[in-house]
Homo-oligomer: A and B are copies of this chain.
Amino acid sequence: MELKGKVVVAQGGGPTAVINQSLVGAVLESRKFPQITKVYGAVGGVRGIIDERFMDLTQETTHNLERVAVTPSSALSSTRDKPDQKYCEEIFKVFRAHDVRYFFYIGGNDSSDTVRIVNEQAEREGYEFRAIHIPKTIDNDLMVNDHTPGYPSAAKFVAQSFIGVNLDNRALPGVHIVVAMGRHAGFLTAAAAVANQSPEDGPHLVYLPERPFDVDSFAGDVKTMYDRYGRCLVAVSEGIQDAAGVPILARLMQTERDAHGNIQLSGTGALGEQLANYVKEKIGLKRVRSDTLGYLQRSFFGCVSDVDQREAREVGEKAAQFAIWHNVDGSIVIERTGDYHVNYRLVELEKIAAKTKLMPDEFINKEGNNVTPEFMHYLRPLLGSDMPEVGRLRAPMVTPLHLK
Protein backbone atom coordinates (compact mmCIF):
# COMPACT_ATOMS: atom_id res chain seq x y z
CA MET A 1 0.00 0.00 0.00
CA GLU A 2 1.39 3.32 -1.05
CA LEU A 3 1.75 6.05 1.54
CA LYS A 4 1.12 9.40 -0.13
CA GLY A 5 2.56 12.65 1.23
CA LYS A 6 5.57 14.87 1.60
CA VAL A 7 9.19 14.08 2.40
CA VAL A 8 11.29 16.18 4.79
CA VAL A 9 15.07 15.82 4.76
CA ALA A 10 17.22 17.51 7.42
CA GLN A 11 20.89 17.64 8.43
CA GLY A 12 21.91 17.69 12.10
CA GLY A 13 25.05 18.24 14.18
CA GLY A 14 28.53 18.93 12.84
CA PRO A 15 28.97 18.97 9.08
CA THR A 16 31.13 16.51 7.14
CA ALA A 17 32.75 16.59 3.71
CA VAL A 18 30.12 14.26 2.24
CA ILE A 19 26.93 15.04 4.17
CA ASN A 20 25.42 16.64 1.05
CA GLN A 21 25.89 13.41 -0.88
CA SER A 22 23.43 11.80 1.53
CA LEU A 23 21.05 14.74 1.17
CA VAL A 24 21.14 14.55 -2.62
CA GLY A 25 20.83 10.75 -2.59
CA ALA A 26 17.65 10.95 -0.52
CA VAL A 27 16.20 13.86 -2.51
CA LEU A 28 16.81 12.47 -5.99
CA GLU A 29 15.49 9.01 -5.09
CA SER A 30 12.41 10.45 -3.37
CA ARG A 31 11.58 12.61 -6.38
CA LYS A 32 11.15 9.51 -8.55
CA PHE A 33 8.01 8.28 -6.77
CA PRO A 34 4.52 9.50 -7.77
CA GLN A 35 3.19 9.16 -4.21
CA ILE A 36 5.73 11.73 -3.01
CA THR A 37 3.87 15.02 -3.34
CA LYS A 38 6.84 17.26 -2.44
CA VAL A 39 10.40 16.96 -1.16
CA TYR A 40 11.22 19.58 1.47
CA GLY A 41 14.59 20.39 2.99
CA ALA A 42 14.45 21.70 6.56
CA VAL A 43 16.75 24.72 6.82
CA GLY A 44 18.76 24.55 10.04
CA GLY A 45 18.03 20.95 11.10
CA VAL A 46 15.20 20.19 13.53
CA ARG A 47 15.07 23.88 14.52
CA GLY A 48 14.08 24.64 10.92
CA ILE A 49 11.23 22.12 11.13
CA ILE A 50 9.75 23.79 14.21
CA ASP A 51 10.14 27.22 12.59
CA GLU A 52 8.62 25.89 9.33
CA ARG A 53 11.71 26.91 7.39
CA PHE A 54 11.39 24.52 4.45
CA MET A 55 13.06 24.76 1.07
CA ASP A 56 11.11 23.10 -1.76
CA LEU A 57 13.73 20.77 -3.18
CA THR A 58 11.22 19.48 -5.74
CA GLN A 59 12.07 22.76 -7.51
CA GLU A 60 15.85 22.33 -7.41
CA THR A 61 17.60 21.34 -10.66
CA THR A 62 19.29 17.96 -10.79
CA HIS A 63 22.43 19.64 -12.10
CA ASN A 64 22.63 21.97 -9.14
CA LEU A 65 21.92 19.14 -6.70
CA GLU A 66 24.91 17.30 -8.15
CA ARG A 67 27.10 20.37 -7.55
CA VAL A 68 25.84 20.62 -3.98
CA ALA A 69 26.57 16.90 -3.47
CA VAL A 70 30.32 17.45 -3.94
CA THR A 71 30.40 20.53 -1.68
CA PRO A 72 31.30 19.95 1.99
CA SER A 73 29.29 21.10 5.01
CA SER A 74 25.50 20.91 5.47
CA ALA A 75 23.94 22.73 2.49
CA LEU A 76 20.65 23.00 4.42
CA SER A 77 22.48 24.35 7.47
CA SER A 78 22.44 22.52 10.77
CA THR A 79 21.65 22.90 14.45
CA ARG A 80 23.09 21.93 17.80
CA ASP A 81 19.60 21.54 19.31
CA LYS A 82 19.08 18.18 21.02
CA PRO A 83 15.29 17.73 21.02
CA ASP A 84 13.54 16.34 24.08
CA GLN A 85 10.06 14.78 24.14
CA LYS A 86 8.31 18.15 23.99
CA TYR A 87 10.50 19.41 21.15
CA CYS A 88 9.76 16.22 19.19
CA GLU A 89 6.02 16.73 19.72
CA GLU A 90 6.42 20.17 18.12
CA ILE A 91 8.24 18.60 15.20
CA PHE A 92 5.45 16.09 14.79
CA LYS A 93 2.80 18.85 14.89
CA VAL A 94 4.50 20.61 11.97
CA PHE A 95 4.82 17.34 10.04
CA ARG A 96 1.14 16.59 10.51
CA ALA A 97 0.07 20.11 9.44
CA HIS A 98 2.18 19.89 6.26
CA ASP A 99 1.15 16.29 5.50
CA VAL A 100 4.73 15.10 5.87
CA ARG A 101 4.77 11.29 5.75
CA TYR A 102 8.51 10.64 5.35
CA PHE A 103 11.33 12.02 7.47
CA PHE A 104 15.01 11.45 6.67
CA TYR A 105 17.40 12.85 9.25
CA ILE A 106 21.11 12.82 8.44
CA GLY A 107 23.15 12.93 11.65
CA GLY A 108 24.93 11.21 14.51
CA ASN A 109 23.55 9.29 17.46
CA ASP A 110 21.67 12.29 18.87
CA SER A 111 19.87 12.70 15.55
CA SER A 112 18.95 9.04 15.53
CA ASP A 113 17.39 9.52 18.96
CA THR A 114 15.30 12.40 17.61
CA VAL A 115 14.07 10.21 14.77
CA ARG A 116 13.11 7.56 17.30
CA ILE A 117 11.08 9.93 19.49
CA VAL A 118 9.26 11.61 16.57
CA ASN A 119 8.45 8.18 15.20
CA GLU A 120 6.99 7.03 18.52
CA GLN A 121 4.87 10.18 18.67
CA ALA A 122 3.46 9.39 15.22
CA GLU A 123 2.65 5.84 16.30
CA ARG A 124 0.92 7.07 19.43
CA GLU A 125 -1.27 9.36 17.38
CA GLY A 126 -2.00 6.68 14.77
CA TYR A 127 -0.44 8.84 12.04
CA GLU A 128 0.94 6.79 9.15
CA PHE A 129 4.59 7.84 9.02
CA ARG A 130 8.05 6.57 7.98
CA ALA A 131 11.20 7.93 9.61
CA ILE A 132 14.76 6.95 8.76
CA HIS A 133 18.03 7.97 10.33
CA ILE A 134 20.88 8.39 7.83
CA PRO A 135 24.28 7.96 9.53
CA LYS A 136 26.93 10.69 9.49
CA THR A 137 29.83 11.50 11.79
CA ILE A 138 33.54 12.13 11.37
CA ASP A 139 34.07 10.47 14.78
CA ASN A 140 33.10 7.04 13.39
CA ASP A 141 31.42 6.27 16.71
CA LEU A 142 28.00 4.91 15.68
CA MET A 143 27.12 1.43 16.91
CA VAL A 144 26.54 -1.52 14.52
CA ASN A 145 28.10 0.40 11.56
CA ASP A 146 31.42 -0.87 10.19
CA HIS A 147 32.15 2.82 9.69
CA THR A 148 30.10 5.96 9.16
CA PRO A 149 29.91 8.32 6.17
CA GLY A 150 32.07 11.38 6.80
CA TYR A 151 34.73 9.46 8.69
CA PRO A 152 36.71 8.26 5.64
CA SER A 153 37.11 11.80 4.26
CA ALA A 154 38.02 13.28 7.65
CA ALA A 155 40.47 10.38 8.12
CA LYS A 156 41.92 11.14 4.68
CA PHE A 157 42.45 14.76 5.74
CA VAL A 158 44.18 13.66 8.95
CA ALA A 159 46.29 11.17 6.98
CA GLN A 160 47.36 13.72 4.36
CA SER A 161 48.11 16.23 7.12
CA PHE A 162 50.39 13.74 8.86
CA ILE A 163 52.07 12.65 5.62
CA GLY A 164 53.00 16.29 5.06
CA VAL A 165 53.90 17.04 8.66
CA ASN A 166 56.10 13.93 8.77
CA LEU A 167 58.05 15.14 5.73
CA ASP A 168 58.31 18.59 7.30
CA ASN A 169 59.57 17.13 10.58
CA ARG A 170 62.06 15.04 8.62
CA ALA A 171 63.40 18.13 6.80
CA LEU A 172 63.72 20.19 10.00
CA PRO A 173 63.95 17.65 12.82
CA GLY A 174 62.52 18.14 16.31
CA VAL A 175 59.48 17.04 18.29
CA HIS A 176 56.13 17.83 16.72
CA ILE A 177 52.88 17.13 18.56
CA VAL A 178 49.69 17.24 16.50
CA VAL A 179 46.27 17.12 18.13
CA ALA A 180 43.37 15.59 16.19
CA MET A 181 39.65 15.43 16.98
CA GLY A 182 38.17 12.61 19.05
CA ARG A 183 36.69 13.16 22.52
CA HIS A 184 35.78 9.54 23.21
CA ALA A 185 36.62 7.51 20.10
CA GLY A 186 40.14 7.53 18.67
CA PHE A 187 39.36 6.50 15.07
CA LEU A 188 40.11 9.91 13.58
CA THR A 189 43.42 10.42 15.38
CA ALA A 190 44.40 6.84 14.54
CA ALA A 191 44.27 7.72 10.82
CA ALA A 192 47.52 9.64 11.39
CA ALA A 193 49.29 6.26 11.24
CA VAL A 194 48.81 6.20 7.47
CA ALA A 195 51.85 8.51 7.27
CA ASN A 196 54.04 5.75 8.68
CA GLN A 197 55.23 4.30 5.37
CA SER A 198 58.93 3.62 5.92
CA PRO A 199 60.65 2.57 9.15
CA GLU A 200 61.77 6.04 10.27
CA ASP A 201 58.46 7.75 9.37
CA GLY A 202 56.19 9.33 11.92
CA PRO A 203 53.86 9.42 13.65
CA HIS A 204 56.14 7.53 16.01
CA LEU A 205 53.52 7.66 18.74
CA VAL A 206 49.70 7.71 18.64
CA TYR A 207 47.67 8.39 21.80
CA LEU A 208 43.95 7.64 21.85
CA PRO A 209 41.16 8.35 24.35
CA GLU A 210 40.51 4.59 24.67
CA ARG A 211 43.69 4.19 26.79
CA PRO A 212 44.66 6.08 29.96
CA PHE A 213 47.32 8.69 29.25
CA ASP A 214 50.23 9.01 31.64
CA VAL A 215 52.29 12.16 31.20
CA ASP A 216 55.49 10.52 32.46
CA SER A 217 55.22 7.49 30.15
CA PHE A 218 54.48 9.96 27.38
CA ALA A 219 57.68 11.93 28.06
CA GLY A 220 59.62 8.64 28.21
CA ASP A 221 58.12 7.45 24.90
CA VAL A 222 59.03 10.74 23.21
CA LYS A 223 62.61 10.53 24.50
CA THR A 224 62.97 6.95 23.26
CA MET A 225 61.78 7.87 19.77
CA TYR A 226 63.84 11.07 19.67
CA ASP A 227 66.98 9.16 20.63
CA ARG A 228 66.21 6.55 17.97
CA TYR A 229 65.25 8.77 15.02
CA GLY A 230 66.63 12.19 15.90
CA ARG A 231 63.08 13.48 15.77
CA CYS A 232 59.61 12.53 16.98
CA LEU A 233 56.16 13.11 15.52
CA VAL A 234 53.25 12.48 17.89
CA ALA A 235 49.52 12.15 17.18
CA VAL A 236 47.24 12.90 20.11
CA SER A 237 43.44 12.75 20.47
CA GLU A 238 41.91 15.86 22.02
CA GLY A 239 40.04 13.58 24.42
CA ILE A 240 42.96 11.87 26.19
CA GLN A 241 42.44 11.35 29.93
CA ASP A 242 44.42 9.93 32.79
CA ALA A 243 43.54 6.67 34.56
CA ALA A 244 41.15 8.53 36.87
CA GLY A 245 39.27 10.02 33.92
CA VAL A 246 40.71 13.53 34.35
CA PRO A 247 41.33 15.27 30.99
CA ILE A 248 45.07 15.68 30.42
CA LEU A 249 44.71 19.36 29.63
CA ALA A 250 43.25 19.95 33.09
CA ARG A 251 46.07 17.92 34.66
CA LEU A 252 48.86 19.76 32.88
CA MET A 253 47.33 23.11 33.68
CA GLN A 254 47.11 22.07 37.32
CA THR A 255 50.83 21.26 37.30
CA GLU A 256 51.63 24.62 35.77
CA ARG A 257 49.35 26.45 38.13
CA ASP A 258 51.14 24.97 41.13
CA ALA A 259 54.49 26.07 39.78
CA HIS A 260 53.80 29.52 38.39
CA GLY A 261 50.56 30.84 39.83
CA ASN A 262 47.15 31.38 38.33
CA ILE A 263 47.04 30.23 34.72
CA GLN A 264 43.97 30.22 32.51
CA LEU A 265 44.00 28.31 29.25
CA SER A 266 41.16 27.33 27.03
CA GLY A 267 40.31 26.52 23.47
CA THR A 268 41.56 24.29 20.79
CA GLY A 269 45.33 24.82 20.85
CA ALA A 270 45.93 24.49 24.57
CA LEU A 271 46.41 20.71 24.86
CA GLY A 272 49.10 20.57 22.19
CA GLU A 273 50.90 23.55 23.67
CA GLN A 274 50.82 22.16 27.18
CA LEU A 275 52.17 18.81 26.00
CA ALA A 276 54.89 20.61 24.04
CA ASN A 277 55.88 22.65 27.08
CA TYR A 278 55.95 19.50 29.17
CA VAL A 279 58.32 17.78 26.72
CA LYS A 280 60.54 20.88 26.59
CA GLU A 281 60.90 21.02 30.36
CA LYS A 282 60.98 17.30 31.07
CA ILE A 283 63.37 16.14 28.34
CA GLY A 284 65.15 19.46 27.81
CA LEU A 285 64.53 19.60 24.07
CA LYS A 286 64.38 22.98 22.37
CA ARG A 287 62.66 22.40 19.07
CA VAL A 288 59.21 21.21 20.19
CA ARG A 289 56.14 22.43 18.34
CA SER A 290 52.47 21.67 18.33
CA ASP A 291 49.62 21.95 15.87
CA THR A 292 45.90 21.42 16.36
CA LEU A 293 44.03 20.31 13.26
CA GLY A 294 40.75 21.88 14.40
CA TYR A 295 37.67 22.42 12.27
CA LEU A 296 39.51 21.79 9.00
CA GLN A 297 39.11 18.09 9.76
CA ARG A 298 35.42 18.24 8.95
CA SER A 299 35.24 21.17 6.56
CA PHE A 300 38.36 21.41 4.36
CA PHE A 301 37.25 21.65 0.73
CA GLY A 302 39.40 19.43 -1.44
CA CYS A 303 40.18 16.27 0.46
CA VAL A 304 37.45 13.72 0.00
CA SER A 305 37.55 9.93 -0.19
CA ASP A 306 35.74 8.74 -3.30
CA VAL A 307 34.65 5.63 -1.39
CA ASP A 308 33.13 7.92 1.25
CA GLN A 309 31.34 9.97 -1.40
CA ARG A 310 29.83 6.89 -2.98
CA GLU A 311 28.71 5.40 0.33
CA ALA A 312 27.32 8.69 1.64
CA ARG A 313 25.28 8.94 -1.55
CA GLU A 314 24.05 5.39 -1.24
CA VAL A 315 22.92 5.61 2.40
CA GLY A 316 20.78 8.60 1.38
CA GLU A 317 19.33 6.72 -1.56
CA LYS A 318 18.72 3.59 0.53
CA ALA A 319 16.86 5.63 3.15
CA ALA A 320 14.34 6.69 0.50
CA GLN A 321 14.11 3.14 -0.88
CA PHE A 322 13.55 1.49 2.51
CA ALA A 323 10.89 4.03 3.48
CA ILE A 324 9.06 4.19 0.17
CA TRP A 325 9.37 0.60 -1.17
CA HIS A 326 9.33 -1.28 2.07
CA ASN A 327 7.35 0.95 4.43
CA VAL A 328 9.81 0.45 7.27
CA ASP A 329 11.57 2.67 9.83
CA GLY A 330 15.03 2.52 11.32
CA SER A 331 18.62 3.53 10.93
CA ILE A 332 20.72 2.73 7.86
CA VAL A 333 23.94 0.93 8.74
CA ILE A 334 27.00 0.09 6.68
CA GLU A 335 28.07 -3.54 6.87
CA ARG A 336 31.43 -4.63 5.47
CA THR A 337 30.84 -7.80 3.45
CA GLY A 338 34.24 -8.24 1.80
CA ASP A 339 37.64 -6.71 1.23
CA TYR A 340 36.37 -4.35 0.06
CA HIS A 341 32.57 -4.51 -0.35
CA VAL A 342 29.72 -3.13 1.71
CA ASN A 343 26.02 -3.67 2.09
CA TYR A 344 23.40 -1.40 3.65
CA ARG A 345 20.95 -2.71 6.21
CA LEU A 346 18.21 -1.16 8.29
CA VAL A 347 18.35 -1.66 12.06
CA GLU A 348 16.08 -0.51 14.89
CA LEU A 349 16.76 3.05 15.97
CA GLU A 350 17.27 1.90 19.57
CA LYS A 351 20.46 0.13 18.49
CA ILE A 352 22.08 3.41 17.39
CA ALA A 353 20.45 6.11 19.47
CA ALA A 354 22.60 7.85 22.11
CA LYS A 355 25.29 5.17 22.15
CA THR A 356 29.00 5.49 21.31
CA LYS A 357 31.29 2.99 19.61
CA LEU A 358 34.95 3.01 20.64
CA MET A 359 38.09 1.60 18.98
CA PRO A 360 38.17 -2.20 19.57
CA ASP A 361 41.15 -3.58 21.50
CA GLU A 362 42.71 -5.24 18.46
CA PHE A 363 43.17 -1.81 16.82
CA ILE A 364 45.44 -0.51 19.63
CA ASN A 365 48.91 -1.82 20.47
CA LYS A 366 49.79 -3.35 23.83
CA GLU A 367 51.70 -0.27 25.02
CA GLY A 368 48.70 1.91 24.25
CA ASN A 369 50.86 4.31 22.24
CA ASN A 370 50.12 3.30 18.64
CA VAL A 371 47.73 1.43 16.36
CA THR A 372 48.02 -2.13 15.05
CA PRO A 373 48.21 -3.56 11.51
CA GLU A 374 44.59 -4.69 12.05
CA PHE A 375 43.55 -1.07 12.22
CA MET A 376 45.53 -0.19 9.08
CA HIS A 377 43.83 -3.09 7.28
CA TYR A 378 40.46 -1.75 8.42
CA LEU A 379 41.19 1.86 7.40
CA ARG A 380 43.03 1.47 4.11
CA PRO A 381 40.09 0.77 1.73
CA LEU A 382 38.06 3.63 3.21
CA LEU A 383 40.57 6.27 2.08
CA GLY A 384 39.66 5.73 -1.57
CA SER A 385 41.64 5.73 -4.76
CA ASP A 386 43.66 8.92 -4.80
CA MET A 387 45.84 8.94 -1.72
CA PRO A 388 49.04 10.84 -2.57
CA GLU A 389 52.24 8.81 -2.75
CA VAL A 390 55.47 10.00 -1.19
CA GLY A 391 58.58 10.12 -3.37
CA ARG A 392 61.95 9.81 -1.59
CA LEU A 393 65.50 10.27 -2.83
CA ARG A 394 67.51 7.06 -2.69
CA ALA A 395 70.77 7.96 -4.43
CA PRO A 396 74.03 6.83 -2.76
CA MET A 397 75.90 9.14 -0.39
CA VAL A 398 79.24 10.54 -1.52
CA THR A 399 82.33 9.47 0.44
CA PRO A 400 83.47 12.50 2.44
CA LEU A 401 87.02 13.85 2.20
CA HIS A 402 87.01 14.48 5.95
CA LEU A 403 88.11 18.09 5.63
CA LYS A 404 87.34 18.93 9.24
Interface, chain A (partner B; CB < 8 A): 11, 14-15, 20, 40-41, 43, 50-60, 64, 66-80, 93-94, 97-98, 160-161, 163-165, 167-168, 170-173, 176, 256, 260-270, 272-273, 276-277, 289-296, 298-303, 388-398, 400-404
Complex Cα distance, B165 from A104, in Å, reads 26
A interface, over-half SS:
loop
| Across-interface contacts of A263 in B (CB, < 8 A) | 262-264
Which residue of B has the minimal Cβ distance to A167? B73
Contact of A268 among B43, B66, B289 (CB under 8 A): B289
Complex Cα distance, B402 from A97, in Å, reads 10
Question: B388, A301: Cβ atoms under 8 Å?
Answer: yes
Question: A176, B393: Cβ atoms under 8 Å?
Answer: no
Pick 11 A–B contacts, CB within 8 A, sort by A. Answer: A11-B171, A20-B391, A41-B393, A68-B393, A72-B164, A73-B164, A78-B172, A164-B302, A267-B289, A291-B294, A302-B388
Question: A40, B398: Cβ atoms under 8 Å?
Answer: yes
Question: A165, B299: Cβ atoms under 8 Å?
Answer: yes
Complex Cα distance, B267 from A266, in Å, reads 13
Question: A389, B67: Cβ atoms under 8 Å?
Answer: yes
| Across-interface contacts of A388 in B (CB, < 8 A) | 70-71, 301-302
Question: A296, B172: Cβ atoms under 8 Å?
Answer: no
